[in-house]
Structure 1
Amino acid sequence: MNRMKDKVVIVTGAAQGIGATYARALATEGARIVVADVLDGTPLVAELESMGAEAMAVTTDVADETSATIMAGAAMERFGQIDVLVNNAAIYASLKMKAFEDIDLGEWDKVMAVNVRGPFICARAVVPYMKARGYGRIINISSGTPFKGTPNLLHYVTSKGAVLALSRAMARELGDFGIAVNTLAPGLVLSEGVVANAEMRERLTAPVIASRAIKRDQTPDDLIGPLLFLASDDSAFMTGETVVVDGGSVMH
């Protein structure tokens, strides 16, 4: 129950959904949590504090360099260190499925800004503090979709494929500084956003479950164990790797 004791963890996009699940799980293991989100993270902070955890909320636009710098600075001012960054914030459940030639360029750019530039900017904001201590864990959240070539979400699939490449190259650059960089790739998860997107559920749920070796819906709780493994010293000698958690739809 204390794998993350006294570790300081920033979780982007943590105010709700899967990010909030990550934050609760990390807090349960003793971590001090920074809830970084464009949405109001104070309700989750209050919940975590009621559990006995230390937590703070920082309004953060992951695609904005200044905002990411403020996020890292606020974490350092409150806790004095940054041990783990979970790059969870992304645009997905709000997207409408469509043929790639019908994707608006503005929407393409927005997805890339949050899903690709976001992890890059946030990592760049925290890495100097990690380097100074010779320790860090960066967990980038990708998806099973790049391995499948899931159709009708080309901008999302492309962005999550870029996250895989980003993680591998970043791991090579940061290994000498005691910083591990790994990727967690969930399948179709019944997050709050996915449940609210009726079209996505109707078009994807049945074929995704049929493709799995374990034939059931995936819930946010299915990701807790793998996340804690990557965030803790259980994975100390592991970097540049991708852990796919999707019931065996992708066997990577």
Structure 2
Amino acid sequence: MAGLQAGVAIVTGGRSGIGLATVELLRKDGFRVVSLDVEAGYPGSAEPERLELTVDVADEAQAALAAAMTIEAFGTVDVLVNNAGIGGGPAAGICHETSLEAWERVLGVNARGPFLCSRAVLPTMMEQRSGRIVTVASLASLQAMPGRFAYTASKGAALQLTRSIAADYGKYGIRANAVCPGFTRTPLVAARLDEGTWDLGDSIPLGRVGEPDEIANAILLLATGRLDYMSGAALVIDGGMTAAF
């Protein structure tokens, strides 16, 4: 069954994990989807209802071009899902050991990316007086994660960007919300769990990490109009982790 207001959606970081799951669910719900990813060799293929582009969301020109190509291909943009993100690793772990280069790399993808992509689609959404922006902000947007300095700062920025858009553009019928997943079985998390780098122990009351499609289903709710009175919110999906703190 098509969604309540299926249309055209852009998903950043759409090649794997939460992004890929979101692309697949949106397509099943009747959306035409433009999937963006920085991965070299991204197919760049076009189908009648799907377009794949190799894009660095932290690059101003590339973000603007992706929006323009979406409008050229499908006529409009109804939904933007800001999903692309990086952790930064040990090089961006604690403040005094973080280089400016590492800081700017993490902030570039996780904060500047959502800014540039949102800025690129907002004029179209304003003109049509409707639109939905969903940003994947992580639990780190709500509470600091020790040893993940730049990541925590960047996700906090992404959440406040979302709230600012909700406050400024609601009068145009535009909704902006954040999804804040806990540990989710993305390729990076799965690798660390398998190698024993992370021992989550009893920190998650439900006793497991989330699956990408579980996060994608929440994004779908926000993208389709099923929760149309929600704007400026941070939707936590963490298996009860924050409740147990």
- TM-score normalized with structure 2 length: 0.91
Matched, 1:153 2:145: no
Report the 3-state secondary structure (helix = DSSP H, G, I; strand = E; otherwise coil) of the residue aligned with 2:68.
helix
- Equivalent position of 1:170 in the other structure: 165
Task: After superposing the two structures, state which structure 1 stretch, 94-103 or 123-132, moved more.
Answer: 94-103
The one-letter code of the counterpart of 1:30 is G
Runs of 4+ aligned residues of structure 1 deviating over 4 Å after TM superposition are none
Distance 2:143 2:166 in 1: 24
Count of residues in correspondence between the two structures: 242
Q: Compared with structure 1, are the counterparts of its residues 6 and 240 closer, same or farther at alpha carbon in structure 2 (3 Å cutoff)?
A: closer
Is 1:64 matched up with 2:56?
Answer: no
- Please report the RMSD computed on the Cα atoms of aligned residues, expressed in angstroms: 2.2
Residue identity in the other structure for 1:190:
R
- 1:83 paired to 2:78: yes
CA positional deviation for 1:198: 6.0
The CA deviation at 1:236 is 1.1
CA contact (8 A) 1:42 1:56 kept: no
Alignment of 1:111-190 (within 5 A): 111-190=106-185
Pair 164,105 (structure 1): closer, same or farther in 2 beyond 3 Å: same
Partner of 1:196: 191
**Residue 240 of structure 2 is aligned with which of 233, 248, 251?**
248
Give the Cα separation in 2 of the matches to 1:24 and 1:198.
25
Contact 2:12–2:82 (CA<8 Å) still a contact in 1? yes
SS of 1:235 mapped into structure 2 = coil
Inter-partner Cα distance in structure 1 for 2:5 and 2:165: 26
Cα distance in 1, alignment partners of residues 227 and 216 from structure 2 = 14
Judge conservation of contact 2:80–2:132 (CA < 8 Å) in 1. Answer: yes
Between Structure 1 and Structure 2, which shows a larger proportion of helix residues?
A: 1
| Deviating more after overlay: 15-24 vs 141-150 | 141-150
Q: Does 1:42 align with 2:73?
A: no
Corresponding residue SS for 2:226: helix
TM-score by length of 1: 0.89
Q: Please, which runs of 5 or more residues in structure 1 have no aligned partner?
A: none
Shift of 1:203: 4.6
Aligned residue number for residue 214 of structure 2? 222
Q: What is the DSSP-based 3-state SS (H/G/I as helix, E as strand, rest coil) of the residue aligned with 1:57? A: strand
| Kept in 1: contact 2:38–2:55 (CA 8 A) | yes
What does residue range 199-210 of structure 1 map to in structure 2 within 5 Å?
202-207=196-201, 210=202
CA distance in 2 between counterparts of 1:238 and 1:99 reads 35
Matches of 2:199 and 2:119, distance apart in 1: 36
